[in-house]
Structure 1
Amino acid sequence: MAKNKNSGKIKSQIFFNALVENLSDFIVVISADGIIKYASPSFYRMLGYSHTETIGKSAFTFLHPDDLPKAKEDYKALLANPEILQQVNLRLLNKNGSIHYVNGNRKNLLSDPEVDGIVLSVRDITDITISNILLNEKNEMLEVRQRLLNVTELISKVGGWEYDVITQKMFWTEETYRIHEINKNEIDAGSTSHINRSLECYPPEDRQKILEAFNNCINNAEPYDLVSSFITCKGKNLWVRTIAKPIIENN
């Protein structure tokens, strides 16, 4: 009987090893004080760390710094409430410095003598997450451009621009590129290089005045309305009027 029982355990262990070896998801067992006791092979494949760089180390060292406060609070909650199955969404740091987005579940099995740990089971959702981020950014950019185009049409096709103080991105309408005689493909969409390229078109004696007015609008929400001579990137002499009005949302 003992021999058959041991044989059954060996077969179960072989089955378990074969299973976790081929999983794309990974499993980590963590002690009550946050130390990694076990990590499945896919953990090492994903993040690039060796066994000695992982086992015995704090699980929190592998997290993105911005995720640490919430992750630690959630961990404390799981220790205090072992009956819950906790959902997790985390950013893990690869050894090469890249970031992996993962989601999954965490369960407190400290009371189970066969496990004696917190079991974390997650899957890598990096590709999906990054695709969604890029799609959202693209949609936001399209919305900004459309809004600017509509405003510009209302004011008789005068060139329009918008600077987002939070993201520090600058957007121009087609007419603004035309006034400067700049090919829009020369500057990355949203880049603050637009500001420098525009300043170069003003005479040296007016550049400081324009820049001070721009910074004052950003920092103190003060509008401005200025007139200046202007030389396009192709050398055409113009007189331009530049107007800026701050738009404040949620303070």
Structure 2
Amino acid sequence: MTETDSIVITPLAERPSLLSRIYEIAETWPAFIPHDPVAEALLSRVAEDFPHYCVVATDGDRVVARGLSVPFNAASEGREEMPDKGWDQVLVWAFQDRRDGHPPTAVSALEITVDRAYLGRGLSYGMLAALREAVGRQGHDTLLAPVRPTAKHLEPRVTMTDYVRRQGDDGLPTDPWLRVHVKSGGGIQRIAPASMTVSGSLAQWRRWTGLPFDSDGDIDVPGALVPVHCDTAHDRAVYVEPNVWVRHGVKPPTV
């Protein structure tokens, strides 16, 4: 258990009554993100199927943050710890391994989401620490994370490689979320160029974004880290999101 002021952070396995409430949070995710097909198929099952790898924060009776991670086997043929398809790939592998009974050799974070009203209080640091502790209790010494830099959407035409290189005078990343990870002991490893993919009809993209989607080519979309490619002839627009792989060392639990 981790406490921050009146906020209590616990492994979800210790508070199963909150399983159905972790999505009550007032979120800031772009409207198109949940339409990644892997997320649509599997994300809602993570908390129930992997509660020991998830954490939840409460302020009194209110759920104010969640942290999700999944274990997977990176030693199987054709796999690696930090795949190019990042978030999507590790989520698929986790459920394949659970179904097939393959022992996990790695753990990847999926998200840390803080209620909009609780942003700016440093809660993200506590959630990240709690997620590392939860992973350590399951016998792992590393937590991987396909990080979605929170300010990258402001510069969608800058390559992720160039964006990640930016540092402040203190040598830390300029991006706020990458900065949290590095200050917490994480090390930036590589880019996951196709970490998430959202493909939809032009009508769907108009509904998700409020934009016309009436011309071919790359379109800047609020909240998107890179432009969305629009193809009017085929009535399709596709968003392929890059993330940044970060590796955290995990200390074993103290007795």
TM range, smaller chain: under 0.3
TM-score between both structures, scaled by the size of structure 2: 0.24
Q: Which has the higher helix share?
A: 1
Larger of the two Rg values belongs to structure: 1
Greater relative contact order (CA < 8 Å, ≥ 6 in sequence)? 2
Q: Which has the higher strand share?
A: 2
